[in-house]
């Protein structure tokens, strides 16, 4: 029988420290391949592989396209590329971003679950928002093992907490104790049941579970598109370097009233829980990340409006001075009113910006 032999690890904010602690505790004879995604800025290079190589007993390398997944080695996603698992090897893709990230944790988790089923062990470490939750749902649905860093042990508890809200995790523990756990879990024989069978019995809300009180009209397609099928389709989207066509995304859900923060295209609400969206060229968003991105866009728009109002007030002031020099009293009063109105509106916007209305702590979503 197949055994657990692939460990996929995802982290974001606070992830470097968590990953160093994690790899330091791994056994030197670990009989499994490890694949790591840390959300990174798109530009430049990453020193993460070197950091992890020095931190633990296993060699850590930057993943390259086509590289075989070797047991006893840590494969690290490079910046600006999704790390996907395809036929036991690494595939690097410049596919659509997810929650603004490339590489993305969910893209790795979905591809691993689709390719290796119950052989996968998924691990979510420190990070903000809810990245990794959708991927862990897929791993759980395929019979894989789910491991989550104790939120109290994480610098940013958002990602671990989100997973625990939606998945009954097999293990919740500090990063330093995961190595000992994996030593016992790796190599255990598993029933690698086909994805179609598992998704049919999948209890995750929104996948047509018999006990779910939702009509086809209310949730179109949810009875016919299971977790495993959706994961395969989304993996294909993540692997598409040039983006995808709308007819590859539209069948995955229903039209929403929202637009994509990346490209302003229309978003499709996916047939999945928790609520997620994809635009018609493939950019993916969870509801929390979309809300966060809309807040950033709103703040940017308000700063633009503030700058415009201040320029308007300054221009009206100059025109008032010119009119006063010409003795045009009617124009003086007109430009004076315009200046006062623009200055007042600018003050209102400035107060909102300074009050922090459009910002929040990165791990605010951890509050219950």
Domain edges within the chain: 6-185, 289-366
Is 184 considered catalytic here? no
Tokens in use for 26?
């791994």
Average pLDDT, the chain: 87
Whether the predicted pLDDT of 361 surpasses 60: no
Output the pLDDT for position 193: 60
User: Which of 5, 39, 93, 363 is flagged as catalytic?
Assistant: 39
Residues 6+ apart with CB under 8 A from 308: none
Backbone angles phi, psi at 112, to 5 degrees: -65, -45
Helix (H, G, I), strand (E, B) or coil at 58: coil
Position 203 confidence tier, pLDDT thresholds 50, 70, 90: very low
pLDDT for the residue 358 = 60
pLDDT at 211 over 50: no
- 131 in catalytic set: yes
d(CA 138, CA 142): 6
- Using alpha carbons, select from 46, 49, 114, 122 the residue that is nearest to residue 80: 46
Q: Which residue has the higher pLDDT, 11 or 205?
A: 11
pLDDT digits (tens, 9 = 90+) for 90-135: 999 999 999 999 999 999 999 999 999 999 999 999 999 999 999 9
6-185, CATH topology level? Rossmann fold (3.40.50)
Catalytic residue chosen out of the listed positions 5, 12, 81, 363: 12
Distance, in Å, from the CA atom of 253 to the CA atom of 291, rounded to the nearest integer, reads: 19
Closest to 277 in 3D by CA, of 247, 255, 303, 295: 255
Say whether 39 is catalytic. yes
269-285 pLDDT, tens digit each: 998 888 999 999 999 99
Contact in structure between 222 and 251 (CB atoms under 8 Å) = no
Q: Does 37 have pLDDT greater than 80?
A: yes
3-state class of 320 per DSSP? Answer: helix
Q: Which residue is catalytic, options 5, 106, 130, 131?
A: 131
pTM: 0.80
pLDDT in tens, 129-157: 999 999 999 999 999 999 999 999 999 99
Write down the pLDDT at residue 356. 67
Q: How far apart are CA 70 and CA 270, in angstroms?
A: 34
């Amino acid at each position: 029988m197949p055994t657990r032999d692939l460990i996929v690890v995802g982290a974001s904010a606070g992830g470097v420290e968590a990953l160093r602690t994690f790899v330091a505790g791994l056994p030197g004879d670990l009989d499994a391949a490890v694949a790591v995604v840390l959300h990174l800025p798109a530009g430049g290079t990453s020193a993460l592989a070197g950091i992890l190589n020095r931190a633990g007993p296993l060699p850590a390398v930057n993943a390259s396209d086509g590289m075989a997944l070797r047991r006893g080695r840590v494969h690290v996603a490079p910046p600006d590329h999704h790390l996907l698992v395809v036929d036991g090897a690494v595939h690097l893709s410049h596919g659509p971003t997810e929650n603004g990230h490339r590489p993305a944790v969910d893209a790795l988790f979905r591809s691993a679950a689709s390719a290796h089923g119950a052989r996968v062990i998924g691990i979510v470490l420190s990070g903000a928002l809810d990245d990794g939750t959708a991927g862990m749902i897929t791993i759980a649905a395929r019979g894989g093992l789910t491991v989550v860093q104790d939120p109290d042990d994480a610098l940013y508890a958002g990602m671990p907490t989100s997973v625990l809200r939606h998945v009954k995790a097999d293990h919740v523990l500090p990063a330093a104790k995961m190595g000992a756990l994996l030593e016992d879990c790796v190599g255990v024989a598993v029933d690698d049941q086909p994805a179609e069978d598992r998704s049919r019995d999948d209890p995750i809300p929104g996948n047509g579970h018999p006990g779910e009180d939702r009509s086809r009209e209310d949730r179109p397609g949810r009875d016919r598109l299971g977790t495993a099928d959706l994961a395969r389709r989304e993996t294909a989207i993540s692997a598409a370097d040039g983006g995808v066509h709308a007819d590859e995304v539209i069948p995955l859900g229903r039209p929403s009233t929202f637009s994509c923060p990346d490209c302003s295209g229309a978003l499709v609400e996916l047939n999945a829980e928790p609520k997620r969206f994809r635009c018609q060229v493939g950019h993916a968003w969870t509801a929390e990340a979309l809300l966060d991105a809309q807040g950033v866009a709103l703040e940017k728009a308000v700063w633009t409006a503030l700058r415009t109002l201040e320029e308007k007030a300054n221009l009206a002031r100059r025109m008032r001075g010119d009119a006063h020099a010409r003795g045009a009293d009617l124009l003086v009063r007109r430009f004076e009113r315009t200046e006062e109105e623009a200055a007042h509106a600018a003050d209102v916007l400035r107060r909102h910006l300074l009050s922090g209305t459009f910002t929040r702590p990165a791990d605010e979503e951890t509050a219950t």
